[in-house]
Structure 1
Protein backbone atom coordinates (compact mmCIF):
# COMPACT_ATOMS: atom_id res chain seq x y z
CA UNK A 1 0.00 0.00 0.00
CA UNK A 2 2.75 2.30 0.78
CA UNK A 3 4.08 1.59 -2.65
CA UNK A 4 0.94 2.95 -4.33
CA UNK A 5 1.00 6.17 -2.32
CA UNK A 6 4.63 6.76 -3.06
CA UNK A 7 3.95 6.40 -6.77
CA UNK A 8 0.75 8.44 -6.74
CA UNK A 9 2.00 11.36 -4.72
CA UNK A 10 4.33 12.82 -7.34
CA UNK A 11 1.59 12.50 -9.90
CA UNK A 12 -0.81 14.51 -7.79
CA UNK A 13 1.71 17.24 -7.26
CA UNK A 14 2.47 17.67 -10.96
CA UNK A 15 0.34 20.06 -12.97
CA UNK A 16 -2.06 18.57 -15.54
CA UNK A 17 -0.07 19.48 -18.69
CA UNK A 18 3.03 17.86 -17.28
CA UNK A 19 1.06 14.69 -16.68
CA UNK A 20 -0.23 14.68 -20.26
CA UNK A 21 3.29 15.14 -21.62
CA UNK A 22 4.48 12.16 -19.70
CA UNK A 23 1.57 10.16 -21.00
CA UNK A 24 0.97 8.62 -17.67
CA UNK A 25 -2.49 9.82 -16.63
CA UNK A 26 -5.53 8.56 -18.45
CA UNK A 27 -8.95 9.97 -17.75
CA UNK A 28 -11.66 7.67 -16.55
CA UNK A 29 -14.01 6.41 -19.15
CA UNK A 30 -17.72 7.24 -18.96
CA UNK A 31 -18.71 3.57 -18.60
CA UNK A 32 -16.36 3.11 -15.68
CA UNK A 33 -17.81 6.19 -14.04
CA UNK A 34 -21.35 4.89 -14.55
CA UNK A 35 -20.33 1.49 -13.19
CA UNK A 36 -18.83 3.09 -10.10
CA UNK A 37 -21.93 5.23 -9.59
CA UNK A 38 -24.15 2.16 -9.99
CA UNK A 39 -21.97 0.17 -7.60
CA UNK A 40 -22.04 3.04 -5.12
CA UNK A 41 -25.85 3.31 -5.47
CA UNK A 42 -26.25 -0.47 -4.95
CA UNK A 43 -23.97 -0.23 -1.94
CA UNK A 44 -26.09 2.63 -0.55
CA UNK A 45 -29.30 0.71 -1.28
CA UNK A 46 -27.96 -2.45 0.45
CA UNK A 47 -26.81 -0.36 3.38
CA UNK A 48 -30.22 1.38 3.62
CA UNK A 49 -32.09 -1.91 3.24
CA UNK A 50 -30.06 -4.26 5.46
CA UNK A 51 -27.62 -2.30 7.59
CA UNK A 52 -29.39 0.99 8.34
CA UNK A 53 -32.66 -0.42 9.86
CA UNK A 54 -30.97 -2.66 12.45
CA UNK A 55 -28.51 0.13 13.22
CA UNK A 56 -31.34 2.66 13.68
CA UNK A 57 -33.31 0.06 15.63
CA UNK A 58 -30.36 -0.45 17.95
CA UNK A 59 -29.93 3.32 18.33
CA UNK A 60 -33.64 3.80 19.07
CA UNK A 61 -33.60 0.91 21.53
CA UNK A 62 -30.58 2.39 23.28
CA UNK A 63 -32.23 5.85 23.34
CA UNK A 64 -35.38 4.28 24.78
CA UNK A 65 -33.34 2.43 27.42
CA UNK A 66 -31.55 5.65 28.34
CA UNK A 67 -34.86 7.53 28.53
CA UNK A 68 -36.36 4.74 30.65
CA UNK A 69 -33.31 4.79 32.90
CA UNK A 70 -33.57 8.56 33.32
CA UNK A 71 -37.30 8.24 34.04
CA UNK A 72 -36.59 5.46 36.56
CA UNK A 73 -33.90 7.61 38.16
CA UNK A 74 -36.35 10.49 38.41
CA UNK A 75 -38.98 8.18 39.90
CA UNK A 76 -36.33 6.90 42.29
CA UNK A 77 -35.54 10.45 43.36
CA UNK A 78 -39.22 11.15 43.92
CA UNK A 79 -39.65 7.86 45.79
CA UNK A 80 -36.61 8.70 47.90
CA UNK A 81 -37.94 12.14 48.73
CA UNK A 82 -41.40 10.75 49.57
CA UNK A 83 -39.79 7.97 51.63
CA UNK A 84 -37.71 10.56 53.43
CA UNK A 85 -40.82 12.64 54.11
CA UNK A 86 -42.66 9.50 55.27
CA UNK A 87 -39.69 8.63 57.51
CA UNK A 88 -39.85 12.11 59.06
CA UNK A 89 -43.60 11.73 59.60
CA UNK A 90 -43.15 8.30 61.20
CA UNK A 91 -40.37 9.61 63.44
CA UNK A 92 -42.54 12.54 64.52
CA UNK A 93 -45.45 10.17 65.15
CA UNK A 94 -43.21 7.79 67.10
CA UNK A 95 -41.85 10.68 69.17
CA UNK A 96 -45.40 11.85 69.89
CA UNK A 97 -46.46 8.35 70.91
CA UNK A 98 -43.35 7.97 73.04
CA UNK A 99 -44.09 11.24 74.84
CA UNK A 100 -47.69 10.10 75.39
CA UNK A 101 -46.46 6.76 76.75
CA UNK A 102 -43.96 8.53 78.98
CA UNK A 103 -46.67 10.87 80.27
CA UNK A 104 -48.99 7.90 80.89
CA UNK A 105 -46.16 6.10 82.66
CA UNK A 106 -45.46 9.12 84.83
CA UNK A 107 -49.17 9.44 85.63
CA UNK A 108 -49.39 5.71 86.42
CA UNK A 109 -46.26 5.96 88.58
CA UNK A 110 -47.81 8.88 90.48
CA UNK A 111 -51.02 6.91 90.95
CA UNK A 112 -49.09 3.88 92.20
CA UNK A 113 -47.02 6.05 94.56
CA UNK A 114 -50.16 7.74 95.87
CA UNK A 115 -51.92 4.38 96.26
CA UNK A 116 -48.88 2.97 98.07
CA UNK A 117 -48.69 6.08 100.25
CA UNK A 118 -52.40 5.78 101.10
CA UNK A 119 -52.02 2.08 101.77
CA UNK A 120 -48.96 2.74 103.96
CA UNK A 121 -50.85 5.41 105.89
CA UNK A 122 -53.83 3.12 106.43
CA UNK A 123 -51.47 0.30 107.45
CA UNK A 124 -49.71 2.71 109.80
CA UNK A 125 -53.06 3.77 111.32
CA UNK A 126 -54.08 0.11 111.67
CA UNK A 127 -50.78 -0.76 113.37
CA UNK A 128 -51.11 2.27 115.68
CA UNK A 129 -54.68 1.29 116.55
CA UNK A 130 -53.58 -2.28 117.26
CA UNK A 131 -50.79 -0.90 119.43
CA UNK A 132 -53.24 1.33 121.30
CA UNK A 133 -55.63 -1.57 121.80
CA UNK A 134 -52.82 -3.83 122.97
CA UNK A 135 -51.52 -1.10 125.26
CA UNK A 136 -55.03 -0.53 126.61
CA UNK A 137 -55.58 -4.25 127.20
CA UNK A 138 -52.16 -4.56 128.88
CA UNK A 139 -52.89 -1.47 130.96
CA UNK A 140 -56.25 -2.91 132.00
CA UNK A 141 -54.59 -6.24 132.86
CA UNK A 142 -51.90 -4.46 134.84
CA UNK A 143 -54.55 -2.41 136.64
CA UNK A 144 -56.43 -5.62 137.55
CA UNK A 145 -53.21 -7.24 138.64
CA UNK A 146 -52.23 -4.13 140.60
CA UNK A 147 -55.64 -3.99 142.23
CA UNK A 148 -55.30 -7.64 143.21
CA UNK A 149 -51.80 -7.04 144.59
CA UNK A 150 -52.93 -3.91 146.43
CA UNK A 151 -55.84 -5.88 147.84
CA UNK A 152 -53.52 -8.65 148.97
CA UNK A 153 -51.13 -6.13 150.52
CA UNK A 154 -53.97 -4.36 152.27
CA UNK A 155 -55.23 -7.65 153.69
CA UNK A 156 -51.75 -8.72 154.71
CA UNK A 157 -51.18 -5.36 156.34
CA UNK A 158 -54.56 -5.39 158.01
CA UNK A 159 -54.10 -8.94 159.26
CA UNK A 160 -50.76 -8.05 160.74
CA UNK A 161 -52.20 -4.93 162.30
CA UNK A 162 -55.16 -6.71 163.69
CA UNK A 163 -53.10 -9.77 164.51
CA UNK A 164 -55.98 -11.93 164.15
CA UNK A 165 -57.34 -14.12 161.51
CA UNK A 166 -59.82 -12.64 159.11
CA UNK A 167 -62.49 -14.69 157.40
CA UNK A 168 -61.74 -15.24 153.71
CA UNK A 169 -65.29 -14.67 152.55
CA UNK A 170 -65.39 -11.36 154.39
CA UNK A 171 -61.97 -10.60 153.03
CA UNK A 172 -63.07 -11.05 149.38
CA UNK A 173 -66.01 -8.73 149.94
CA UNK A 174 -63.78 -6.10 151.48
CA UNK A 175 -61.27 -6.34 148.60
CA UNK A 176 -64.05 -6.06 146.02
CA UNK A 177 -65.42 -2.97 147.68
CA UNK A 178 -61.93 -1.48 147.83
CA UNK A 179 -61.51 -2.19 144.12
CA UNK A 180 -64.74 -0.43 143.35
CA UNK A 181 -63.60 2.56 145.37
CA UNK A 182 -60.28 2.65 143.60
CA UNK A 183 -61.87 2.60 140.14
CA UNK A 184 -64.12 5.48 140.89
Structure 2
Protein backbone atom coordinates (compact mmCIF):
# COMPACT_ATOMS: atom_id res chain seq x y z
CA UNK A 1 0.00 0.00 0.00
CA UNK A 2 1.92 2.73 -1.19
CA UNK A 3 0.19 6.08 -0.95
CA UNK A 4 1.83 7.45 -4.01
CA UNK A 5 0.90 4.46 -6.21
CA UNK A 6 -2.83 4.72 -5.42
CA UNK A 7 -2.89 8.50 -5.88
CA UNK A 8 -5.50 9.83 -8.19
CA UNK A 9 -5.67 13.44 -9.21
CA UNK A 10 -9.40 13.32 -9.75
CA UNK A 11 -10.01 11.89 -6.30
CA UNK A 12 -7.61 14.43 -4.87
CA UNK A 13 -9.39 17.31 -6.63
CA UNK A 14 -12.76 16.02 -5.53
CA UNK A 15 -11.63 15.67 -1.93
CA UNK A 16 -9.99 19.11 -2.06
CA UNK A 17 -13.21 20.57 -3.50
CA UNK A 18 -15.30 18.87 -0.75
CA UNK A 19 -12.83 20.08 1.89
CA UNK A 20 -13.04 23.67 0.56
CA UNK A 21 -16.87 23.51 0.42
CA UNK A 22 -16.92 22.00 3.90
CA UNK A 23 -14.59 24.72 5.21
CA UNK A 24 -16.71 27.37 3.46
CA UNK A 25 -19.97 25.93 4.90
CA UNK A 26 -18.45 25.53 8.35
CA UNK A 27 -17.07 29.06 8.15
CA UNK A 28 -20.44 30.46 7.05
CA UNK A 29 -22.75 28.47 9.26
CA UNK A 30 -20.66 27.15 12.15
CA UNK A 31 -17.51 29.21 12.69
CA UNK A 32 -19.16 32.63 12.57
CA UNK A 33 -21.86 31.79 15.13
CA UNK A 34 -19.31 30.03 17.34
CA UNK A 35 -16.90 32.97 17.04
CA UNK A 36 -19.77 35.44 17.58
CA UNK A 37 -20.88 33.48 20.66
CA UNK A 38 -17.30 33.41 21.97
CA UNK A 39 -16.87 37.13 21.28
CA UNK A 40 -20.25 37.82 22.89
CA UNK A 41 -19.24 35.77 25.91
CA UNK A 42 -15.91 37.61 26.08
CA UNK A 43 -17.77 40.93 25.88
CA UNK A 44 -20.21 39.74 28.58
CA UNK A 45 -17.37 38.65 30.82
CA UNK A 46 -15.53 41.88 30.14
CA UNK A 47 -18.69 43.92 30.91
CA UNK A 48 -19.34 41.84 34.03
CA UNK A 49 -15.74 42.44 35.19
CA UNK A 50 -16.10 46.17 34.53
CA UNK A 51 -19.44 46.20 36.33
CA UNK A 52 -17.90 44.29 39.23
CA UNK A 53 -15.00 46.73 39.33
CA UNK A 54 -17.40 49.69 39.20
CA UNK A 55 -19.52 48.09 41.91
CA UNK A 56 -16.39 47.57 43.99
CA UNK A 57 -15.41 51.21 43.52
CA UNK A 58 -18.98 52.28 44.31
CA UNK A 59 -18.94 50.14 47.45
CA UNK A 60 -15.63 51.69 48.49
CA UNK A 61 -17.07 55.17 47.88
CA UNK A 62 -20.21 54.27 49.82
CA UNK A 63 -18.13 52.82 52.63
CA UNK A 64 -16.02 55.99 52.72
CA UNK A 65 -19.21 58.10 52.72
CA UNK A 66 -20.69 55.93 55.46
CA UNK A 67 -17.53 56.27 57.53
CA UNK A 68 -17.50 60.02 57.01
CA UNK A 69 -21.21 60.31 57.88
CA UNK A 70 -20.69 58.10 60.92
CA UNK A 71 -17.81 60.30 62.08
CA UNK A 72 -19.91 63.42 61.51
CA UNK A 73 -22.84 61.88 63.38
CA UNK A 74 -20.59 60.91 66.27
CA UNK A 75 -19.07 64.39 66.36
CA UNK A 76 -22.54 65.96 66.25
CA UNK A 77 -23.75 63.60 68.99
CA UNK A 78 -20.75 64.50 71.14
CA UNK A 79 -21.38 68.19 70.54
CA UNK A 80 -25.04 67.78 71.46
CA UNK A 81 -24.15 65.82 74.60
CA UNK A 82 -21.58 68.44 75.56
CA UNK A 83 -24.12 71.21 75.01
CA UNK A 84 -26.71 69.28 77.02
CA UNK A 85 -24.22 68.81 79.85
CA UNK A 86 -23.38 72.52 79.78
CA UNK A 87 -27.08 73.43 79.82
CA UNK A 88 -27.69 70.99 82.68
CA UNK A 89 -24.76 72.39 84.67
CA UNK A 90 -25.91 75.94 83.98
CA UNK A 91 -29.46 75.10 85.02
CA UNK A 92 -28.20 73.45 88.20
CA UNK A 93 -25.94 76.39 89.06
CA UNK A 94 -28.75 78.86 88.24
CA UNK A 95 -31.15 76.87 90.41
CA UNK A 96 -28.64 76.77 93.25
CA UNK A 97 -28.01 80.48 92.91
CA UNK A 98 -31.73 81.23 92.80
CA UNK A 99 -32.34 78.96 95.80
CA UNK A 100 -29.55 80.76 97.67
CA UNK A 101 -31.07 84.14 96.80
CA UNK A 102 -34.55 82.95 97.81
CA UNK A 103 -33.15 81.45 101.02
CA UNK A 104 -31.35 84.70 101.85
CA UNK A 105 -34.53 86.62 101.11
CA UNK A 106 -36.61 84.32 103.33
CA UNK A 107 -33.99 84.57 106.10
CA UNK A 108 -34.00 88.37 105.87
CA UNK A 109 -37.80 88.43 105.95
CA UNK A 110 -37.79 86.09 108.94
CA UNK A 111 -35.17 88.23 110.69
CA UNK A 112 -37.21 91.36 109.95
CA UNK A 113 -40.36 89.64 111.23
CA UNK A 114 -38.52 88.48 114.36
CA UNK A 115 -37.13 91.99 114.89
CA UNK A 116 -40.62 93.48 114.45
CA UNK A 117 -42.11 90.95 116.88
CA UNK A 118 -39.27 91.67 119.30
CA UNK A 119 -39.90 95.43 119.11
CA UNK A 120 -43.63 94.88 119.50
CA UNK A 121 -43.02 92.61 122.50
CA UNK A 122 -40.61 95.17 124.05
CA UNK A 123 -43.13 97.97 123.45
CA UNK A 124 -45.86 95.83 125.01
CA UNK A 125 -43.61 95.04 127.98
CA UNK A 126 -42.76 98.75 128.33
CA UNK A 127 -46.43 99.62 128.24
CA UNK A 128 -47.22 96.97 130.84
CA UNK A 129 -44.28 98.07 133.01
CA UNK A 130 -45.38 101.67 132.63
CA UNK A 131 -48.96 100.76 133.57
CA UNK A 132 -47.76 98.73 136.52
CA UNK A 133 -45.44 101.55 137.58
CA UNK A 134 -48.27 104.05 137.38
CA UNK A 135 -50.56 101.75 139.37
CA UNK A 136 -47.85 101.13 141.98
CA UNK A 137 -47.05 104.84 142.14
CA UNK A 138 -50.74 105.64 142.43
CA UNK A 139 -51.18 103.16 145.25
CA UNK A 140 -48.05 104.44 147.01
CA UNK A 141 -49.11 108.06 146.61
CA UNK A 142 -52.62 107.27 147.82
CA UNK A 143 -51.11 105.56 150.82
CA UNK A 144 -48.78 108.47 151.52
CA UNK A 145 -51.35 111.16 150.81
CA UNK A 146 -54.16 109.59 152.74
CA UNK A 147 -53.09 111.50 155.80
CA UNK A 148 -53.14 115.36 155.83
CA UNK A 149 -49.95 115.70 157.75
CA UNK A 150 -48.13 113.49 155.29
CA UNK A 151 -49.57 115.53 152.39
CA UNK A 152 -48.28 118.76 153.85
CA UNK A 153 -44.84 117.28 154.45
CA UNK A 154 -44.68 115.99 150.89
CA UNK A 155 -45.67 119.37 149.43
CA UNK A 156 -43.10 121.17 151.57
CA UNK A 157 -40.44 118.64 150.55
CA UNK A 158 -41.27 119.08 146.89
CA UNK A 159 -41.24 122.84 147.21
CA UNK A 160 -37.90 122.66 148.92
CA UNK A 161 -36.50 120.60 146.04
CA UNK A 162 -37.67 123.04 143.45
CA UNK A 163 -35.43 126.01 143.07
CA UNK A 164 -36.91 129.07 141.64
CA UNK A 165 -34.99 131.01 139.12
TM-score by length of 1: 0.66
Q: How far apart, in 2, do the equivalents of 1:42 and 1:160 lie?
A: 169
Q: Does 1:62 align with 2:41?
A: yes
2:121 to 142, 146, 151: 142
- Gaps of at least 5 residues in structure 1 are 1-15, 18-26, 165-184
Q: How far apart, in 2, do the equivalents of 1:93 and 1:65 lie?
A: 41
- C-alpha displacement of 1:110: 2.4
- Gaps of at least 5 residues in structure 2 are 144-165
**For 1:167-178, what aligned pairs fall within 5 Å after superposition?**
none
Q: How far apart, in 2, do the equivalents of 1:133 and 1:103 lie?
A: 44
Please name the residue that 1:89 is paired with.
Answer: 68
Q: How far apart, in 2, do the equivalents of 1:160 and 1:36 lie?
A: 176
Q: Does 1:38 align with 2:17?
A: yes
- The structure with higher relative contact order (CA 8 Å, sep 6+) is 1
**For 1:105-144, what aligned pairs fall within 5 Å after superposition?**
105-144=84-123
Q: How far apart, in 1, do the equivalents of 2:39 and 2:139 lie?
A: 143
TM-score by length of 2: 0.73
Q: How far apart, in 1, do the equivalents of 2:130 and 2:39 lie?
A: 131
Q: How far apart, in 1, do the equivalents of 2:47 and 2:138 lie?
A: 131
Q: How far apart, in 1, do the equivalents of 2:76 and 2:64 lie?
A: 18
- How many residues align? The count is 141
Q: How far apart, in 2, do the equivalents of 1:153 and 1:32 lie?
A: 171
Q: How far apart, in 1, do the equivalents of 2:129 and 2:43 lie?
A: 123
